[in-house]
Structure 1
């Protein structure tokens, strides 16, 4: 599971790399710097989920303050996104990173508990890796299904559903599926 640590640091910065590519370098690099510091500290204390949560919350705040009903009513936007669909889709990386960080924590918790009870290290690693592999397959499938739904909602010219509403639908669907899968693993 050591290969996951760099992924847990890199995935949450993807939305802000997109922000840099859209022309908001100073804001993007500032948030990236803060996220990398939080990520390194999180990995050092075995709690890498803090960076993922910070990334998800920050990107959703930017999304809410840049598009949708709030800017329509207030007539002001935080950032005038040229491609809001691309930025909203990049939130996928933060959500997936959040799921990976909780899987990483669960792996370490179970491995530590089984080792203290005297189980064989090779068997522990093999079984936990198998569990994580199957869980990641299910969660990745859920991520892809909800991403396809998001894309279909964005591309379909449904006047009722704007990109932000599609993002909310995607986020809720993915978080419900991932929480259900993780709850099933814990039980």
Structure 2
């Protein structure tokens, strides 16, 4: 028998607001927050917030994500109408360390809220440049890392900085371990407190 439970959107919103409030409450003045919205393949949507821990010279970053239909289901990537894909919620918590002004590796652990035994991860390397383009490369495991890797994927993100107010737009290309290719789009805003 499989253990399942459901979470409604109100509970998810309240949990996210409480976590973000506690998180920002610990931050010192002049820290940076980056909010990312990603959407695309499988009708997935994910909101991601990166919070610099400490002052603006800190190299430590905390990542919090909330998503719907975001790679955690073991369905075929092209099967967006499958009822098992609908309402597939996940929460993630991660950490990044800025090695240099241009490189930040990170690891995020992702928990599917629809299944008690389902956990995955996202690992990546954020690459900043002196141009308007920035890049991230990484790997996402899906479903349960101990049971099913069929939708795990390697990906590349390309961001383009718009103006000087912290806005970026981006595109992600992902390739699953079974060879399927998908695309997602992103919008990103950095805020200096």
For the superposition of Structure 1 and Structure 2, which TM-score range results when normalised by the shorter chain? under 0.3
Q: What TM-score does the superposition give when structure 1 sets the normalisation length? A: 0.28
Structure with more relative contact order (C-alpha pairs < 8 Å, separation 6 or more)? 1
In terms of fraction of residues, the more helix-rich structure is: 1
In terms of fraction of residues, the more strand-rich structure is: 2
Larger Cα Rg: Structure 1 or Structure 2? 1
Q: What TM-score does the superposition give when structure 2 sets the normalisation length? A: 0.27
